[in-house]
Amino acid sequence: MHQKNKAGFTLTELMAVVIIVAVLAGIAFGSYKKAVERSRFAEGQVAGATVAEAVSRYYYDNLDTSYASTMPQASYLDVGFASDRSCTLNPSSKHCFRTQYFEVLIQSDRVKVSRVQGNKAKDYYFYYYPEFLGQKAEECGSLTQAGADLCKSMGYTDCSGSGASVLCSKP
């Protein structure tokens, strides 16, 4: 008699391997998405800080302290972004910059940096206060729970508000 040697894997063994690989891929993809958003968060921080510093330089250079009545237009500032685009949240504003992921708006008492996706605000935003106003340096606010969690994970732990509507500053 001739006995057959078993070679290969059974269908059950292959299915178990596929399920394990799928679970690991799901975990890795979630971690990848969080890492990408954290890097974009850092890009927004740099954009906001750059514009806030340029606003402060504008007022120091022009010896103008009436900030609320004479906000500098974006074209007056020595700021340029590599992927400069036209603003979508504030399309008619002359006080606005847009990068691929953020829209930076010069407001009457601060600089607001909004995370955008397409033409809509997404998840979170920052406030930067020009140095000469003597206020807090920066704050992070959220539009969703994911945005609030991201603000907190990036070091903005002094928070007020609840749920998705939270405004945090660094201690």
Q: What pLDDT, on the 0 to 100 scale, is given for residue 16? A: 94
pLDDT tens-digit readout, 111-150: 899 999 888 888 899 998 877 666 667 899 998 888 888 8
pLDDT tens track for 53-101: 888 888 777 765 555 556 778 888 878 776 667 888 888 788 888 888 9
CB atoms near residue 34 (< 10 Å): 14
| Domain definitions of the chain by residue range | 11-169
Question: Cα(167)–Cα(171) distance, rounded to whole angstroms?
Answer: 13
| 158, 160, 166, 171 alpha-carbon torsion, rounded to 10° | -10
Q: How many CB atoms lie within 10 A of CB 25?
A: 10
